Amino acid sequence: MVDTRVDLCGITIDNPVIPASGTFGYGHEFAELYDINCLGTFSFKGTTLDPRFGNETPRIAECPSGMLNAVGLQNPGVDDVIREELPKLERVFHKPVMANVSGFSTDEYAEVVKRLDRSSMSDMIGWYEINISCPNVHGGGMSFGTDPKMAAEVVKAVRWITDKPVIMKLSPNVTDITEIAKACEAEGADGISLINTLMGMRFDLRTRKPLLANVTGGLSGPAVFPVALRMVYQTAKAVKIPVIGMGGISSAEDVLEMMMAGAVAVEVGAANLVDPYASRNIVRDLPEAMKKYGISSF
C-alpha cells in the first residue's frame, strides 16, 4: 500500500494533484462530471478586485504539444466570487480550496485577500496563491514577478492581512527565477508555485496576422514541461519553503518526475482543457505509478 498524502504549508492533503488556476473554473463546473473531492485540492480561477471581461477574441490558439492563451484574467470580481461562486463550491467540495488572487497594484492584491479572508466563506480557503505575473499599472506595466523588489512588495502587502499560507505563483519569463523566489521567501511567503506560462506567439499564414488578438500569449502544455522541471529543480534548491511544480503535467509519471525535482505538490493545467477528466485520471493512476517505481510515500 502506498501513501499519496503530502503536507502543503502545514495542511495535509490526500494526494499532490491540484488542478491549476484558470483551467478548473471555480470547481463546481467540474463537479458535474465527477466527484472533485478525489483531488488534493484545486486552485480556483484567478480573481481580481473588479469584474474583468478579459482580452479580445480570439484568445486561445492550439499549437504542437501545447496551447497559447491570452484570456486576460476574465472573472466576475471578488465580491461576486464570495457571493455566488464559493457557496456553489461549498455544496460539492469538502476540502480546503486554494484561492488564486491577481491584481494590478499592491493595494489591489491586498484588498482581494482582505475581502476573501474576512468573508463568511473564508473557512473554505486553505491557501492563497498570489499570481504575480500581472502587469503593475503603477510601475510602467512591468509584471510584479519579473523584479525581486516588486515581488517582495506584493508578499509584504498580503502577508500581514491573513494567517493562512501565502503561496507566490512565479513567472518563468525572467533571467533568474531563483532570485524572485528568494525575495518572496525573505518577506514571509509560505510557499512558491511555478511555472506560469511562457510568452509566445503564432501567425495565421492566410491572413498574415497573429493568431491571437492580443498578439502574444502564454504557452502551456507538454512543450513546457522540461523548462518547468528545470526551474522547479533550481528553485527547490534555492529556498527552504515548499515548492509546487506545474507546467505541462499530463500523467502520473510527470507528477513523480516533478516531485523528484523537489516539488511537494503539483498543479495540472492545460491537460484539463484537453480532457476534463485529466486530473481525476492522474489521481487514479498515481498509486500504481508509485508502486512501479518503488515509491511508498512522498
**Catalytic machinery residues:** 134
Q: What is the DSSP string of 45-108?
A: PPB-SS-B--SPSP-EEEETTEEEE-----B--HHHIIIIIHHHHHTT--S-EEEEE--SSHHH
The C-alpha cell of 215 is what?
498578439
The C-alpha cell of 118 is what?
474576512
What single-letter amino acid sits at 185?
E
Rounded Cα distance, 200 and 9, in Å:
33
Torsion, CA 134, CA 197, CA 180, CA 7, rounded to 10:
110
| Beta bridge partner(s), residue 97 | 125
Query: Diameter of the chain by CA atoms?
Result: 56
Rounded Cα distance, 69 and 215, in Å:
10
Answer whether 244's CB lies under 8 Å from 167's CB: yes
